[in-house]
Amino acid sequence: MEPEAQRKQEEWGLHEECGVFGIWDSKGGCAQTTYYGLYALQHRGQEACGIAAMNNREQSCYKDVGLVSEVFDRERLERLNGTMAVGHVRYATTGAGERENAQPLTIKYVKGTLAVVHNGNLVGVDKLRREFEYKGAIFHTSSDSELIAYAIAQERLHCGSVEEAVCRAASKLKGAFSLLVMSPEKLIACRDPWGFRPLCMGRKGEAVLFASESCAIEAVGGQVERELDPGEIVVVREGKVTSIRDNCRGLSHMCIFEYIYFARPDSVIAGQSVHRARMNAGRLLARQKPVEADLVVGVPDSGLDAARGYALESGIPLGMGFVKNRYVGRTFITPDQSSREQAVRIKLSALRSEVEGKRVVMVDDSIVRGTTCSQIINLLREAGATQVHMRVSAPPFISPCYFGTDIPDKEKLIACHHSLEEIEAMTGADSLEYLSIANLRHLAPDAKCGFCEGCFTEHYPISVEE
């Protein structure tokens, strides 16, 4: 991980690389709808965003670094009008904040134009890039999306349709990719054969919508129809929807961390409510490691639902332990190491009136390096908590992610080098418990999919040796 990305991760927690949204609507106004859809997906990436639209086979695109609210205004959106659009929000782990790595990735080639948006990470990407470069490719960015666009364009030269080209390219790529591809006539959604990242489809009247999460389809007034199956390709042309299943191999490895941390609680992934999955994690933790305490609090935001589950299961009252400063954003500057603690204090403060004199169970979603966690525990102690029992709604991270989450290398993961007791002492918690692997497998009972849990078990659904 590059230093800038590492600094951001330390200050702001884990991130995933992206959210995608796409729409076909004969009535037009697709860029506007995409703009609202991206707003609903902003939690998946705050570094850069962009929208490409198609109007009478003319493609237009605008993208830049910044939040959706910063990058787009009325004038820019009006210039993007069309009957199809794809949009993207990006969190960069490499090439952080670079304008050229913002998406959509647009290309012009002998068969026309393509706009590609992508969520996930390819595996073996250096080898693939070299292969293409030896065949004469010149890449302008370091993003996987450009490789994918190039692979599709190459295939398109040897087959009869863009959807066939997407299918052929997808069958050769390895890793996580939930893609939307827009050609002059078609909007194509494609999910990798392992199904690492979510991608769902919805309708709003005759309009067809695609989004990384169901919350974005609902935010624009649409109804979610279904999730794409792993390996499936869905093609929309003039409102007619067809499905290609050549790459569906019966595999299913959804990132389990989507439920614990990434996705919005109001989203439903593979039939499982994210909110309920987090509540379940809290309930399971309460059964796994009960403790005598006066109050349960969650660390905002993704610890809140798990804290509620812990409280319901244990019978210990749920309280509001922290106030989060919602105005601290992407541009917040922390110039040196010594100000890291200050950064946590600016982001979060403990509510003295709630925690003073109490034995507190504090629920959070993960511990990466352990530094932020000990600072948050310290906030509770300073506010008068007599005991702080830390409960983590995920198992310990013991290995990096190769599929789009910026979990650092093993040397920086606290659980790779210290026992539970040591981490307990280092963080200053009176007791510490992580969700067990056995319970991890029970947090999403309604999910109609299998899971990737590689960062917790070191067993990945595909070989990551490259």
Residues at the interface with ligand SF4 (CB under 6 A): 196, 255-257, 401, 403, 405, 452-455
Q: At closest approach, how far in Å is the CB of 408 from ligand SF4?
A: 12
Q: How far apart are CA 227 and CA 166, in angstroms?
A: 19
> Which residues have C-beta within 8 Å of that of residue 188, sequence separation ≥ 6?
162, 163, 166, 179, 180, 181, 182, 233, 234, 235, 236
Q: At closest approach, how far in Å is the CB of 1 from ligand SF4?
A: 14
Active site residue 49: no
Q: At closest approach, how far in Å is the CB of 119 from ligand SF4?
A: 11
89 closest CA partner among 139, 123, 38, 140: 38
Max Cα-Cα span within the chain: 72
Q: What is the secondary structure of 184-209 as a DSSP string?
A: SSEEEEEE-TT--S--EEEEETTEEE
Complex with ligand SF4: residue 15 or 168, whichever CB lies closer = 15
Q: How far apart are CA 306 and CA 274, in angstroms?
A: 11
Q: At closest approach, how far in Å is the CB of 271 from ligand SF4?
A: 18
Complex with ligand SF4: residue 188 or 254, whichever CB lies closer = 254
Complex with ligand SF4: residue 213 or 453, whichever CB lies closer = 453
> Which residues have C-beta within 8 Å of that of residue 438, sequence separation ≥ 6?
none
Complex with ligand SF4: residue 268 or 401, whichever CB lies closer = 401
Q: At closest approach, how far in Å is the CB of 199 from ligand SF4?
A: 14
Complex with ligand SF4: residue 258 or 305, whichever CB lies closer = 258
Q: What is the 3-state secondary structure (H, E, C) of 80-125?
A: CCCCEEEEEEECCCCCCCCHHHCCCEEEEECCEEEEEEEECCECCH
Provide the β-strand partners of residue 21: 87, 211
Q: Among all residues, which ones are annotated catalytic?
A: 18
